Structure formats: C-alpha cells, structure tokens
Amino acid sequence: MDEHLARRPLGPRDRLARTSVPIHPPIAARWSPRAFDPSAVVSRHDLTALVEAARWSATWGHREPVRYVVGIRVDETFTTLAGLLKRGNSYARAAGALILVCADEGEDERTARYAAVDAGAAIAALSIEAVSRGLIAHPMAGFDTDGARRAFDLPAGLRPLAVIAVGSLGDYAQADAAVVERDSRPRERLPLDRLVLNWPL
Ligand SMILES: Cc1cc2nc3c(=O)[nH]c(=O)nc-3n(C[C@H](O)[C@H](O)[C@H](O)COP(=O)(O)O)c2cc1C
C-alpha cells in the first residue's frame, strides 16, 4: 500500500464529490466510510430525524411499502443485525446504529419493483439527513437476508434489502489496512455524457 495514502488523514472534506456545477452541500459531502468511531453515540433524536427524512420520501402510488428495524449500539437489535453482516462488512459493528430497510413487495412484479425504488429513495433521504447532521451513513446489501427474516420474524412479502450503518467518522490511523486502502481510493463516477443519453443539455 502507498504509505502516503495510509498516513493521509481521511475526513468528509477529503471525499467531496467533484461536480461540474455546485450541488446541495450534504449531497456532495455524502460518501460511504468504513471507519466508524466505536465510542460515538447516535442520539435517539438524530435517529428519529433520519427515519422522518425517509418517511417523507416519494412513494409510488402512495403505498409507503418501506419498513425499518433500528438497532442502537449495544441493544439486542443492534447485536442481532451486526451478527447478520457479511464478513466484509464487519467494520460496521463499530457504528452507533444499524438500520435494516425492508420493502413490502405486494402481490405482483410491478408493485415489487416500485417498492424497491421507494426503498432506494428512502435510503437516499436518510443518508443525506445523516450527513446534514454531521453523521455518516453506509448502506450495505451484504448481510444474511434469510437470517434477518427469521431473527425479526418478518412477515412474508416483506423483503430485507439493506442494512444502513450510521455513526460518526472514525480515526483512520486506528483502522484496518484494508479499510484505509479502500477508503483512500479516489471517488470516481461516470462522466455526465455517459449518464445522460441526450447530453449535452
Ligand atoms: C444497494 C447498495 C448496497 C451496498 N452494499 C454494500 C456492502 O454490502 N458493503 C459495503 O461496504 N458497501 C456497500 N455499498 C456502498 C457502495 O460500495 C458505495 O456506495 C460505492 O462504492 C460508492 O461509494 P460512495 O458511496 O462512497 O460514493 C452499497 C451501496 C448500495 C447503494
């Protein structure tokens, strides 16, 4: 690993999105850190605000199909969610909270599709609210979904989609080398002319 990268202090300001025009600052500042401060507490007030932000996201047909299970370190729910994470996501055990996001898939393929779209919108709103409060949020699909169904006795049709780790940015000097390496990589995105099919606007 490049020693310079390993020593470089990482913080939200180092990871700002490079945009062609200015955008809403919390969107530019959002990224998915893997170093959580293991002693930082996420307040119930902040957690409530995150779920509020998710609650008020757009919803197809006004179905409101997204459901959450919230664990706060070190309650039983948190411990269960932490135990369901895939090994590569074990960094998230240091988060202040873990939020399981599920979607009620309904009776047909179309309803299921838009339930997942709603869940994505909710995750986005929750993440931006977190950043605007000085927190970090990292969504993860790497967890045992069948284990989540069993552990929380989820009704049939409610599909576990992601676990979001929420907390405060940790100290990269204390982080695993693999985490430092991964989070030191430049943040890249496809150029706008690859994303917008009728570019230039
Ligand atoms: C649906 C979804 C699932 C993801 N699952 C994981 C995961 O299991 N583990 C992980 O470390 N990151 C996961 N991520 C985070 C992505 O790796 C991250 O968003 C991507 O590398 C872009 O980096 P950025 O969010 O810092 O811009 C997931 C993101 C999304 C949207």
- Edge-to-edge strand list for the sheet holding 66-72: 66-72, 97-104, 158-167, 136-140
| CB of 89 shorter than 6 A to ligand 1 | yes
> Is the peptide bond preceding residue 200 cis, with omega within 30 degrees of 0?
yes
pLDDT of residue 73: 96
| Distance from the first to the final alpha carbon of the chain | 41
Give 104's strand partners: 158
Checking phi first, is residue 107 left (phi over 0); if not, alpha (psi -120 to 50) or beta? alpha
pLDDT of residue 14: 75
| CB of 142 shorter than 6 A to ligand 1 | yes
- pLDDT tens for each residue of the chain, 201 residues long: 344 444 455 665 679 999 999 999 999 999 999 999 999 999 999 999 999 999 999 999 999 999 999 999 989 999 999 999 999 999 999 999 999 999 999 999 999 999 999 999 999 999 999 999 999 999 999 999 999 999 999 999 999 999 999 999 999 999 999 999 999 999 999 999 999 999 999
pLDDT of residue 4: 43
| CB of 187 shorter than 6 A to ligand 1 | yes
| CB of 162 shorter than 6 A to ligand 1 | yes
DSSP 60: G
Residue 105 half-sphere exposure toward CB, CA atoms < 13 A:
13
pLDDT of residue 3: 43
| CB of 28 shorter than 6 A to ligand 1 | no
Cα Rg of the chain, angstroms: 18
pLDDT of residue 10: 63
- Residues 2-52: tens digit of each pLDDT: 444 444 556 656 799 999 999 999 999 999 999 999 999 999 999 999 999
pLDDT of residue 74: 87
| CB of 36 shorter than 6 A to ligand 1 | no
* CA 39 to centroid of ligand 1, rounded, Å: 23
* CA 157 to centroid of ligand 1, rounded, Å: 24
| CB of 164 shorter than 6 A to ligand 1 | no
| CB of 139 shorter than 6 A to ligand 1 | yes
Distance CA 158, CA 102 (A): 6
Mutate to test the pocket of ligand 1, among 138, 176, 187 (most ligand atoms within 8 A of CB): 138
- The total of other beta-carbon atoms located within 10 Å of residue 2's CB is 9
DSSP 68: E
**Which domains occur in the chain, in start order?**
36-171 (3.40.109.10)
Q: Tell me whether residue 111 is exposed, middle or buried, using C-beta atoms within 10 angstroms of its C-beta: 0 to 12, 13 to 18, 19 or more.
A: middle
Which amino acid belongs to residue 76?
E
CA 87 centroid distance within chain: 17
* CA 87 to centroid of ligand 1, rounded, Å: 15
